[in-house]
């Protein structure tokens, strides 16, 4: 089968590799219909997360996918060949200390698609087939009203951001730093949950324009001070909730300043361990810092899928391009270098 393979820093290849097979009676083999490129994939392409994952050249890429069940093990009860399905980016065992407490992305036996040997060597989903362990607890039958393209945001980005905003009651002011796919998803979810006003902070005008269409006040930090802009519209206090989707030192320090005293900072973006983050300012202001990376996606997927199916969440603004799997090298370059208005790209075998 064809699969997207990491060729080393800045290199993506499409190669013919051996197709996966069922490894156990609880597995399902899924034929991929669409797979999207995640920001994590781009960081692996850049080489900035490879040490964390033990990621090496030759690894198969991708963890956001939708497909059709091709074959199931004899112990699988809830799925059969021909069913459209979607999966979270990871799997869980269902019986360890964390799974029993529903903290499934801290599973002691967690594996993940397309994230290398350290995370279970499941193989990547930017391919023609993928083998899904523990199919009955991993897969979700896909609502027929949700398109393949729209379903690719369910394994990670949109579902993860929705989970991060759990507890939002409505009426809160929200500032979002970064208007990539994750930031735009944050604007989308904040508006859905009744937040307002919402501020979107970036310096790419095309992305700010999308955020504005989604209901946010755009703030270009090359032209104005975001802290002054947000405080001027929140009674001088700052935002009730700040969602940082960038994870860099500069954005996080700015996020501290954007939050009002006793506000909340959602750490949605991946923070490189090498970043020396000073939480002194946040501590003095009693800003609650909430880590949001790798939330329990499978728990939230049914809710987010229904919101999409009912037309209350429209992922279209996140999905800028759909391209053939064979064009994956170009698609990665487009996302990495923000070419041709690329936000998030869906690959189709």
CA-nearest of 203, 181, 204, 152 to 43 is 181
Q: Are 67 and 85 in contact (CB under 8 A)?
A: yes
- Of the two residues 5 and 277, the one the predictor is more confident about is 5
* Interval 338-344 mean pLDDT: 95
Residue 142 has pLDDT above 90, yes or no: yes
% of the chain surpassing 70 pLDDT: 99
Per domain, the residue ranges of the chain are: 2-152+319-348, 161-291
pLDDT, tens only, 13-61: 999 999 999 999 999 999 999 999 999 999 999 988 877 777 889 999 9
CA-nearest of 127, 145, 28, 119 to 76 is 28
CATH 3.40.50.720 fits 161-291, yes or no: yes
Residue 284 has pLDDT above 80, yes or no: no
Q: Cite the DSSP H helix spans in the chain.
A: 39-46, 50-53, 97-100, 135-138, 148-151, 157-164, 181-192, 205-213, 226-232, 249-258, 280-284, 297-309, 328-337
Task: For residue 262, name the pLDDT band (cuts at 50, 70, 90).
Answer: very high
- Of the two residues 101 and 252, the one the predictor is more confident about is 101
Q: Are 151 and 142 in contact (CB under 8 A)?
A: yes
Task: Reduce the DSSP state of residue 44 to 3 states and report it.
Answer: helix
Cα 240 versus chain centre, distance: 23
CA-nearest of 180, 177, 149, 187 to 341 is 180
- Rounded to the nearest integer, the mean pLDDT of the chain is 93
Q: What is the pLDDT of residue 39?
A: 92
Lowest mean pLDDT, pick from 141-155, 204-218, 271-285: 271-285
Q: Are 308 and 283 in contact (CB under 8 A)?
A: no
Q: What is the pLDDT of residue 126?
A: 98
Lowest mean pLDDT, pick from 116-125, 165-174, 197-206, 310-319: 116-125
Both tokens of residue 88? 């979270």
Rounded to an integer, what distance in angstroms lies between the CA atom of residue 267 and that of residue 230? 19
* Interval 129-139 mean pLDDT: 97
Q: What is the pLDDT of residue 54?
A: 79
Residue 303 has pLDDT above 80, yes or no: yes
Q: What is the pLDDT of residue 282?
A: 66
Write down the CATH superfamily of domain 2-152+319-348: Medium-chain alcohol dehydrogenases, catalytic domain (3.90.180.10)
Both tokens of residue 275? 């970043």
Q: What is the pLDDT of residue 294?
A: 86
């Amino acid at each position: 089968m064809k699969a997207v393979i990491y060729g080393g820093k800045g290199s993506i290849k499409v190669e013919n590799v051996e197709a996966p097979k069922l490894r156990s009676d609880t597995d399902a083999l899924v034929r991929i219909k669409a797979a999207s490129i995640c920001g994590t994939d781009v960081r692996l392409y850049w080489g900035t997360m490879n040490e964390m994952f033990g990621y090496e050249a030759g690894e198969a890429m991708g963890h956001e996918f939708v497909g059709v069940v091709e074959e199931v093990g004899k112990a699988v009860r809830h799925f059969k060949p021909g069913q459209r399905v979607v999966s979270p980016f990871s799997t869980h065992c269902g019986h360890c200390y964390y799974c029993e407490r529903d903290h499934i992305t801290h599973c002691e036996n967690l594996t993940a698609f397309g994230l290398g040997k350290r995370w279970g060597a499941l193989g990547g989903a930017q391919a023609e087939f993928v083998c899904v362990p523990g199919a009955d607890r991993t897969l979700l039958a896909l609502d027929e009203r949700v398109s393949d393209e729209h379903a690719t945001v369910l394994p990670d980005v949109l579902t993860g951001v929705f989970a991060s905003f759990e507890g939002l009651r409505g009426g809160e002011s929200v500032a979002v730093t970064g208007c990539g796919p994750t930031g735009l998803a944050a604007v989308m979810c904040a508006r859905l949950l009744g937040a307002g006003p919402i501020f979107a902070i970036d310096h790419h005008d095309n992305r700010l324009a999308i955020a504005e269409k989604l209901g946010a006040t755009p703030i270009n930090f090359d032209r104005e001070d975001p802290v002054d802009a947000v405080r001027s519209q929140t009674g001088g206090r700052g935002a009730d909730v700040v969602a940082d989707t960038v994870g860099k030192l500069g954005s996080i320090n700015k996020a501290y300043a954007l939050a009002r005293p006793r506000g909340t900072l959602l750490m949605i973006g991946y923070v490189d361990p090498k970043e020396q983050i000073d939480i002194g300012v946040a501590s003095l202001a009693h800003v609650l810092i909430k880590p949001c990376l790798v939330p329990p996606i499978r728990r939230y997927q049914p809710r987010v899928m229904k919101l999409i199916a009912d037309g209350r969440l429209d992922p279209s603004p996140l999905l800028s391009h759909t391209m053939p799997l064979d064009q994956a090298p170009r698609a990665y370059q487009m996302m990495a270098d923000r070419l041709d208005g690329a936000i998030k790209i869906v690959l189709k075998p």
